A and B are shown apart, each in its own frame.
Chain A
Amino acid sequence: MAKKKTLNTKVSIGRLKLKNPVMTAAGTFGYGEEYSKFLNLNNLGAIVVKGLSLLPKQGNPPTRIVETPAGMLNAIGLQNIGIENFIKEKLPFLRQFNTPVIVNFFGDSIKEYAKAAERLSRVSGIQALEMNISCPNRQAGWSIFGTDPKVTSKVVKTVRNATDRTLIVKLSPNVTDISLMARVAEDAGADAVSLINTITGMAIDIRTRKPKLANITGGLSGPAVRPVAVRMVWECSKAVNIPIIGMGGIISAEDALEFIMAGASAVAVGTANFVNPRAAQDIIAGIRSFMSGQGIHNIKKIIGGVNA
């Protein structure tokens, strides 16, 4: 027990200090409340809430999810209650905890991104913003925010000017070279990048000959994407100097440590929450026991520690 106390799991993302590197991934942890009876939200490194927009959004028609081997496709379509309702109805609950709240948000135009960032920056109890430029389930044309370097640069710069909060840019894996996009985000003023969002995929019911999702395509998440995500984190870590938040298929502490060694300063747990509502907390405990087993006293010692 005495040994445990000396473990240092603190990491920083910009000015944001986290007590440990494990957060929840946007869209997989609701607004925090939903999981508060299964784990202690105080134990988490940070809570990232469902992606928000200025106005509430309906999202896509059902069927919205389908399971695939070791993963799932989702086409929720960023349904959300809108920023104002979040501030009024959900944030007071989250403020009770001693855990930073990161708000994931998006817009349908550069102007909307900026307005959303501005609004969120005027509220206490929100420690950082994660801008989602990488959802695969929005209408055609939306994807340019995360796939066209010129547009990415412009939208990140505009949001940078609209907020003084720690700004995380969430990158899409649906690009040819993700490290280029990471550099674009860094140059445009991002404090950190997070990756990966889901990989665009599709599944077909061969009997009805119809796509299994009403939206036809969806975003793949879960263990199936992990090797791709680890590779992308590793590539980005060589390309940028800002911290990286790694995610994609993390189920266990071992998985999380892979990302950290590939260069992630922090990790996010997504689909695993559905499988085990205590996943994030179990992963933190697992990282600590790995550290004490290996005689690693400070987590920072192993960030980017892969011998490659």
Chain B
Amino acid sequence: MSKLFRSSVRENRKLTTDHYLITLRPLKKIRKPKPGQFFMLSVDSGLDPLLKRPFSLHRWLGGDFQLLYETVGKATNILKYKAPGNVLEMIGPLGNGFPAGPSKTGILLVAGGLGIAPVFALAESVSSRRPLLFLGAKSRKEVLCIEKLRSLGIRPTVTTDDGSLGKKGLITDILIDFLSRQSSTCLPVGKVVNRYRVYACGPKPMLREMSRITKKFRLKGYLALEENMACGVGACLSCVVNTTDGLKRVCKEGPVFPAEEIIW
């Protein structure tokens, strides 16, 4: 069950010019969050910024936990100055999280940019199943978590928009190549269906493409979505997305949705 609680900052480490990794220690025990779940966090008690901001679980450290964030605006540019001992109020864990697939299926993880924040949490929890990870970013300096992934035994396939690391191009194109090879060399198209589960988080255009890809290869896919949020608990209806089953709240029924459900 989600709670309103406070955490003290243990560490707030700068990773690149715009990316930080914050380690938090809840002042009261919280339930272990699932990968894909998130927290609504106040960066201070003032009136501007006013609303709490959503951040995905990045890493659970058995009590302490980490969030990976990019400084994009008001709240995140305050958050980056938080020092060990500072206390932050938050609500969580919230949302549904990634569903665990049947244990025999292979796992394909796809992350675009900061989408790696929740996808890393999932990668860590399923690392024994040897997931394949596809990681796309704008440029070299936005490719995060490579070392940590290596230590889990995961060597991601990387693309960047400018070719400064990995292949130049879109990560979804690499995924299409991979899936095409799978279906032509070892399996008929239909069989890919049960072979893999796909989990993705990233910018909207990437997720839209993921819906198309999973449909084309008839794969079961799960997408972690983002919408502007005010409450995070299902009360304000600010975060809805259109699905085949009507409007759903990203904070409550999501943030993870079956790829085929989203109407783009």
In A20-34, which residues have CB < 8 Å from any B CB?
Answer: 27-30, 34
- Interface hit among B19-27, B135-143, B187-195, B228-236: B228-236
The chain B residue with its CB closest to the CB of A80 is B237
A59 in complex: contacting residue of B74, B232, B237, CB < 8 Å: B237
Question: Closest CB-CB distance, B52 to chain A, in whole Å?
Answer: 7
Cα-based distance from A123 to B145 in the complex (angstroms): 57
Does B240 reach chain A (CB closer than 8 Å)? yes
Does A3 reach chain B (CB closer than 8 Å)? no
CB-CB under 8 A for A35 and B228, given A62-B240, A275-B52, A278-B4: no
CB-CB under 8 A for A79 and B237, given A62-B228, A66-B228: yes
Does B186 reach chain A (CB closer than 8 Å)? no
Does A161 reach chain B (CB closer than 8 Å)? no
Q: Tell me if B237 and A72 are in contact (CB < 8 A).
A: no
In B205-239, which residues have CB < 8 Å from any A CB?
Answer: 227-239
Cα-based distance from A72 to B50 in the complex (angstroms): 8
Cα-based distance from A223 to B47 in the complex (angstroms): 7
Q: Tell me if A274 and B240 are in contact (CB < 8 A).
A: no
**Residues in A lying within 8 Å of B, measured CB to CB:** 27-30, 34-35, 37-38, 50, 58-59, 62-67, 69-72, 74, 76, 79, 222-223, 251, 271, 273-278
Q: Which residues of A lie under 8 Å from residue B237 when comparing CB positions?
A: 27, 50, 59, 64, 76, 79
Cα-based distance from A223 to B46 in the complex (angstroms): 11
Q: Which 8 A-B pairs have the closest CB atoms?
A: A30-B235, A65-B238, A34-B235, A70-B47, A274-B231, A274-B230, A64-B238, A34-B234
Q: Tell me if A273 and B4 are in contact (CB < 8 A).
A: no
CB-CB under 8 A for A63 and B233, given A72-B51, A275-B51: no
In this complex, how many residues of chain B approach chain A with their Cβ under 8 Å: the count is 29
Q: Which residues of B lie under 8 Å from residue A28 when comparing CB positions?
A: 231, 235-236
Does B241 reach chain A (CB closer than 8 Å)? yes
The chain B residue with its CB closest to the CB of A37 is B1
Q: Tell me if A271 and B91 are in contact (CB < 8 A).
A: no
The chain B residue with its CB closest to the CB of A69 is B48
Interchain residue pairs with CB less than 8 A apart (11): A28-B231, A30-B233, A34-B234, A59-B247, A64-B237, A74-B236, A222-B47, A251-B47, A271-B50, A277-B231, A277-B233
Question: Closest CB-CB distance, B98 to chain A, in whole Å?
Answer: 22
Complex interface bits, B240-260 against A, C-beta within 8 A gives 1, otherwise 0: 110000010000000000000
Cα-based distance from A201 to B151 in the complex (angstroms): 50
How many A-B pairs fall under 8 Å by CB? Answer: 93
Question: Closest CB-CB distance, B145 to chain A, in whole Å?
Answer: 28
Cα-based distance from A63 to B2 in the complex (angstroms): 25
Question: Closest CB-CB distance, A184 to chain B, in whole Å?
Answer: 30
B227 in complex: contacting residue of A63, A69, A71, CB < 8 Å: A63
Question: Closest CB-CB distance, B227 to chain A, in whole Å?
Answer: 6
Does B7 reach chain A (CB closer than 8 Å)? no
Does B42 reach chain A (CB closer than 8 Å)? yes
Question: Closest CB-CB distance, A164 to chain B, in whole Å?
Answer: 30
Q: Tell me if B234 and A71 are in contact (CB < 8 A).
A: no
CB-CB under 8 A for A76 and B238, given A37-B1, A274-B230: yes
Q: Which residues of A lie under 8 Å from residue B113 when comparing CB positions?
A: none
Cα-based distance from A89 to B16 in the complex (angstroms): 49
Q: Tell me if B241 and A62 are in contact (CB < 8 A).
A: yes
Most A-side CB within 10 Å, residue of B4, B229, B234, B238: B238
B236 in complex: contacting residue of A27, A276, A278, CB < 8 Å: A27
Q: Which residues of A lie under 8 Å from residue B42 when comparing CB positions?
A: 275
Q: Which residues of A lie under 8 Å from residue B203 when comparing CB positions?
A: none
Cα-based distance from A276 to B231 in the complex (angstroms): 9
Does B106 reach chain A (CB closer than 8 Å)? no
In B64-86, which residues have CB < 8 Å from any A CB?
Answer: 74
Cα-based distance from A3 to B237 in the complex (angstroms): 42
Question: Closest CB-CB distance, A237 to chain B, in whole Å?
Answer: 26
Does B169 reach chain A (CB closer than 8 Å)? no
The chain A residue with its CB closest to the CB of B229 is A65
Does B166 reach chain A (CB closer than 8 Å)? no
Q: Which residues of B lie under 8 Å from residue A67 when comparing CB positions?
A: 49-51, 74
